[in-house]
Every structure is written in C-alpha cells, then in structure tokens.
C-alpha cells in the first residue's frame, strides 16, 4: 500500500489499531506521522487524546500505559512513537505484549527510520503479523522526475520540463528537500503561473545556464566551448556542482541513452516513456544518439567509469576535480 492509500483510508476514518512505518525514505514516514498528529483528531480531541513519544527519551512502560488508556470525549486516541530506531532494541521489544493485544480505541503509530527490523527476530515477526507494517524504500533515480510532476500536481501547480530537470539534477532523490523547495517556490510565485527555470534560479539558486543539465546539453550537441564555459563556472563555485554530483548525472544520462539502442527505434514517441515523458530529456537523448552513435556512447560509459575511479584516487596522483571534469568532457566531445 502506498502512502496515498494510507492517507486516503485515514481521511475516510478507516483506522487500524497499530501501524509500523519503517524504511530509508524518511519523507513518507514524516508525512504520515505529521498527518496523524494534525488530522486524525480534532483540535479539541487532541488536547486529551494525543500522546507523542520520541525513541531517544521514551520509556516503554509510559508508551504502553498511554496506549491502554481509553479516550476522553472522543471515539479514539492517537499515540505516536517517533524516531523509534533511536530506542534501545531491548526496550522496544518490551512493547510486544501491547502489539499482541492492542485496543481498538487507540491508533498507535510507530515511525522507524532505518532499513527496518531484522525479519528473523521474534519481535519483527510479531510486528509483521499483528501490525499494519509498511516499508518505504528510497526512490529510484529514474523515478525522480515522475515524483516531481506528481507532487506538483498534488500541490495544484504546473512546472516546466526544464525546471523539472534542474531540480532533479541539482537535488537528486532527496524527497524531503525537493518537497521543501517546491513549497518555497509556491510561496514566491504568482498564483496560476507555471514554475520555470527563472523561478528555480531566483528562489533556489540553481543557475539556469550553468548546471549539470546544461552541461549534458552541451556534450550532447558536441559544443566544446560551451561545455568549458560551464566547467569554468563550476570551478569557480566548487561547492555548487562537485564532481561527485556531475559524474552520476552524466552516467545516468548516457546509461539511459545506451539502453535506448535496444528499443525498436529512437523516435520521440518510443523514447518518451524511457525519459519520464520529458520532451527536453528526449531531445537531449536524440542529439546524443545522432552525434555519438552506439559505439561512441559505449566508449563514453567506459570513460565515465574510468574517471569515477580517478576521482576517488584510483590510478590518479591527485588531479583536481575541476581538471578531471575538463579532461573527461574534452575526451567525450572529441569521441
């Protein structure tokens, strides 16, 4: 079940006695706990029937006592245990009796931000059997653009393809940060206006001319002078786009293009699903295909692997990140 389905059930007053939310994607856990804290009970009900514990400081006896209370002036009560991964596992396991026999009038929700419980343990087996247990994994890189579009739609705003690319390339799959930046944009732009690259530059600080997406475009079009201008900008602002950010982005682009050679053709309609239905990404892919071909893209991927190793000190005597990027991009464009 997705986060949206859980929220939909809660909005329809469909609650289970115990929920266990775990996984490495904090964003979904935080949103669910935030909704539970603010929306399951009315403000008047929450005054008597909302209890919040934090794993680092919580005592298991207090949690169980709160869960076993009956609600006052309300149909139900809500007990939240946040940051449960910070609670000593032996103390956490003391909650087992309550998980085995929960009260229907209590909605007990646990947020455990980690890879999750060891499935082999008795405690994990009890949770899996008795609680509504959900594991939220990190979003895959190839789903980030899709997520940005969906979240913008949820917030009832439009966002241009280039703005989507800039957010993805600069922020990656950090959903909490992406959500915060979208919120910042919504506050600052006029109602009804689509978010574009000018807004991204003005309110988030990502240059619309000097960024990884623009570098990809220059490489795709074999524009060496433009690529060097972008790299000079990166060199003068080393914290803006470090090599550790640029290399994965370039590898993702050329990796997707490499995969496109396995499709029946490389027309826009065929490439669209592979490039998140973003016309700018499709255009870049087609330019790359036209200018480099299968053999050229294969060589580029090998170059990216080689320079990734050099960037972490393998077979390299200490070349600066800026010099490595310039050397790499020059070799790519001259391929």
CATH 1.10.8 maps onto the chain at 141-203
- Classify 3-135 by CATH class: alpha beta
Other Cβ atoms closer than 10 A to 248: 17
Residue with tokens 């972008």: 230
Q: Where in the chain is the domain with CATH 1.20.272.10?
A: 212-333
Q: Are 201 and 207 in contact (CB under 8 A)?
A: yes
Task: Judge contact between 57 and 85, C-beta under 8 A.
Answer: no
What stretches of the chain adopt beta strand conformation (E)? 18-23, 50-54, 77-82, 106-113, 132-135
Structure tokens at 184: 């910042």
Write down the residue that tokens 């469909």 correspond to. 14
- The residue among 245, 238, 261, 188 whose CA lies nearest residue 212 is 245
pLDDT of residue 1: 53
Q: Which residues of 215-236 are buried (b: 16+ CB within 10 A; e: fewer)?
A: bbbbbbbbeeebbeebbebbbe
Contact 256, 285 (CB under 8 A): yes
Nearest to 222 by CA among 310, 298, 296: 296
List of residues 6+ apart from 151 with CB closer than 8 A: 178, 179, 182
Q: Where in the chain is the domain with CATH 3.40.50.300?
A: 3-135
Domain 141-203 indexed as CATH 1.10.15? no
Give the pLDDT of residue 12: 96
Topology of domain 212-333, CATH = Zinc Finger, Delta Prime; domain 3 (1.20.272)
Written as tens digits, the pLDDT of the chain (335 aa) is 589 899 999 999 999 999 999 999 999 999 999 999 999 999 999 999 999 999 999 999 999 999 999 999 999 999 999 999 999 989 999 999 999 999 999 999 999 998 888 889 999 999 999 999 999 999 988 789 889 999 999 989 999 999 999 998 888 889 999 999 999 999 999 888 999 999 999 999 888 889 998 999 999 999 999 999 999 999 998 877 888 888 988 998 999 999 999 999 999 999 998 887 888 889 999 999 999 999 999 999 999 999 999 999 999 988 999 999 999 999 999 98
Q: How far apart are CA 40 and CA 63, in angstroms?
A: 19
């Amino acid at each position: 079940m997705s986060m949206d389905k859980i929220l939909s059930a809660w909005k329809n007053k469909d609650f289970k006695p115990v929920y266990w939310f775990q996984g490495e994607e904090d964003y979904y856990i935080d949103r669910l706990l935030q909704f539970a804290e603010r929306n399951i009970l009315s403000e008047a009900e929450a005054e008597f029937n909302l209890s919040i514990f934090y794993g680092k400081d919580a005592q298991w006896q207090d949690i169980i006592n709160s869960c076993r209370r009956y609600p006052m002036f309300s149909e139900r009560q809500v007990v939240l245990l946040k940051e449960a991964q910070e609670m000593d596992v032996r103390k956490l396991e003391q909650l087992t009796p309550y998980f085995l026999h929960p009260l229907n009038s209590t909605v007990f929700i646990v947020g455990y931000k980690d890879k999750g419980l060891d499935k082999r343990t008795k405690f994990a087996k009890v949770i899996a059997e008795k609680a509504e247990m959900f594991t939220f994994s990190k979003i895959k890189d190839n789903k980030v653009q899709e997520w940005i579009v969906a979240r913008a739609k949820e917030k009832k705003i439009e966002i241009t393809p280039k703005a989507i690319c800039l957010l993805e390339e600069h922020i990656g799959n950090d959903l909490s940060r992406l959500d915060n930046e979208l919120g910042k944009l919504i506050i600052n732009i006029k109602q009804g206006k689509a978010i574009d690259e000018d807004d991204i530059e003005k309110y988030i600080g990502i240059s619309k001319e000097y960024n990884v997406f623009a570098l990809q475009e220059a490489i795709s079009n074999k524009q060496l002078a433009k690529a060097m201008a972008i790299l000079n900008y990166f060199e003068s602002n080393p914290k803006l786009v470090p090599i550790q950010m640029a290399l994965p982005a370039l590898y993702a682009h050329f990796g997707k293009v490499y995969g496109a050679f396995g499709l029946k053709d490389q027309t826009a309609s065929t490439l669209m699903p592979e490039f998140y239905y973003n016309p700018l990404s499709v255009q870049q892919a087609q330019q790359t295909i036209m200018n480099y071909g299968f053999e050229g893209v294969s060589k580029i991927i090998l170059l990216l692997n080689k320079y990734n190793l050099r960037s972490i000190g393998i077979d390299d005597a200490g070349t600066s990140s800026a010099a490595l990027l310039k050397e790499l991009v020059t070799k790519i464009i001259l391929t």
